[in-house]
Amino acid sequence: MAKDPDTSTLLIVDDDPTARQVAQAILSTDVYAFRHASGGQQALEEIVEHEPDLVLLDVMMPGLDGFEVCKRIRKLKTRAYLPVVMVTALDSPQDLARGLNAGADDFISKPVPRVELRARVRSLLRIRRQQLELVDQAQRIEAVNKQREDLVRMVVHDLRSPVTAIQLASSELLAQENKFTDGQRRDLKLIRQEARRVGRYLEEMLLLARQEEGKLSLSFEPVDLTKVARDTLRALQPVAAARRVELMESWTTQPILVAGDAALLRRVVDNLVTNAIKFSPAGTRVEVGIRTEQDSVILEVIDEGPGVPDEARARIFEKYEIVKMRAAGGPQTGLGLPFCRMVVEAHGGSISCLPAVPRGSRFHVRLPAPAPTA
């Protein structure tokens, strides 16, 4: 006959078969399923193979005694917390303390009092059931969240093709710009620009997902960070000019090398500068600085915008915190900054947001300098 899934299972552990039968007889007034073990090692194997809901554990047994068995139970991975009631003829404070230190939840003295044993078992089983319900609820939530994330990733992946098609089509049309009016050309440029921006967002979402799954791979090579920054500023110059923001560079004429993935580092610089332009009022400037500092390379992007509130500086690099901040009316930074942190940390570096003087924000990136060649 199959066991009712709502019936609790008790594991009775005692080297004396008569003691096991007596304990089962006392507890049989309630509806439980019973399993027996005649020693400590057998008890541990039973728990692994058929996890019970409570263990009634004798202390004085040959081989592994109850104290050692309890310690080992606490190291096992169980579905939820597994209550252990020790049955012992020992009653000194030292033995009680030893049992508690081993991880026991309760003690019953021999000879076993019937009413007390039933009451204590019922109490501990109530706690066990509540914990199992919490575990089941957490697993259901985790499964729903995983399905949602899988769906989002699938949609993001599928959107890349149409976005790429829009970029190609707008570029081909712009190659025939003599066929269009000035207004149509502006619209085509806007379409291409926005399609590129959406494409970057999609790519960053996929890269963040790969990083969370441990599947992000980087292609390391010597990268001149000043060249990356210079090319980025040149590409973003029209965007800055349209917003009347001046772009400034601050670095030496000599290359400043880091070991990294050139494409991803370019995206970091692009995101930070684009973000700075976005929050800069007209008539202000954005400065990009690169320098070496001991065994590190420092990249800083400084703007003269409204700045980031103190309480938000750490949170703006958290993917899920951004959603909360947006709902609360905080800075609309998107996934660019979490993406930057992911890439920087994958390179062994760090990124932070600091206040600029007299106003604005200073995004500070520290990357390891490449080891000197022999």
When pLDDT is cut at 50, 70 and 90, the band that residue 328 belongs to is: very low
Among the listed residues 297, 287, 8, the one whose alpha carbon sits nearest the alpha carbon of residue 127: 8
DSSP state of 237: H
Task: Convert the pLDDT of each residue in 69-123 to its tens digit.
Answer: 999 999 999 999 999 999 887 777 787 788 888 888 988 888 888 899 999 999 9
Q: What does the alpha-carbon distance between residue 7 and residue 191 come to, in Å, rounded to a whole number?
A: 64
Task: Convert the pLDDT of each residue in 268-327 to its tens digit.
Answer: 998 899 889 988 999 999 999 999 998 999 999 999 998 888 878 878 887 655 544 444
% the chain with pLDDT above 70: 82
Tally the residues of the chain.
374
Q: What is the pLDDT of residue 25?
A: 94
Architecture of domain 8-112: 3-Layer(aba) Sandwich (3.40)
Task: Convert the pLDDT of each residue in 181-237 to its tens digit.
Answer: 888 877 877 787 777 767 766 666 666 666 556 556 677 889 999 999 999 999 888
Give the tokens for residue 139: 């697993």
336-346 vs 319-327: helix axis angle to the nearest 10? 160
Enter the CATH code of domain 221-368.
Answer: 3.30.565.10
Q: What does the alpha-carbon distance between residue 92 and residue 75 come to, in Å, rounded to a whole number?
A: 26
The DSSP bridge pattern shows strands 361-368 and 350-355 to be antiparallel
Q: Of the spans 4-18, 26-40, 139-153, 207-221, which averages the highest pLDDT?
A: 26-40
Cα four-point dihedral sign 173, 175, 180, 184? positive
Per-residue burial over 107-136, b = 16 or more CB atoms within 10 Å of its CB, e = otherwise: bbeeeeeeeebeebbeebbeebeeeeeeee
Q: What does the alpha-carbon distance between residue 237 and residue 247 come to, in Å, rounded to a whole number?
A: 7
